[in-house]
Amino acid sequence: QVQLVESGGGLVQAGGSLRLSCAVSGRTLSGHGVGWFRQAPGKEREFAAYRHWSDGTTYYADSVKGRFIISADNAKNTVYLQMNSLKPEDTAVYFCAAGYSGGAFRTDKFRTWGRGTQVTVSS
Answer for the pair 19, 33: CB distance below 8 angstroms, yes or no.
Answer: no
Q: How far is CA 118 from the centre of its chain?
A: 12
Q: 45-98: per-residue pLDDT in tens? A: 999 999 998 788 999 999 999 999 999 998 898 999 999 999 999 999 999 999
- The DSSP output letter for 89 is G
What does pLDDT average to over the chain?
93
Which of 61-70 are b and which e, b meaning 16 or more Cβ less than 10 Å from the residue's Cβ?
A: beebeeebbb
Q: 1-59: per-residue pLDDT in tens? A: 889 999 999 999 999 999 999 999 886 655 578 999 999 999 999 999 999 987 889 99
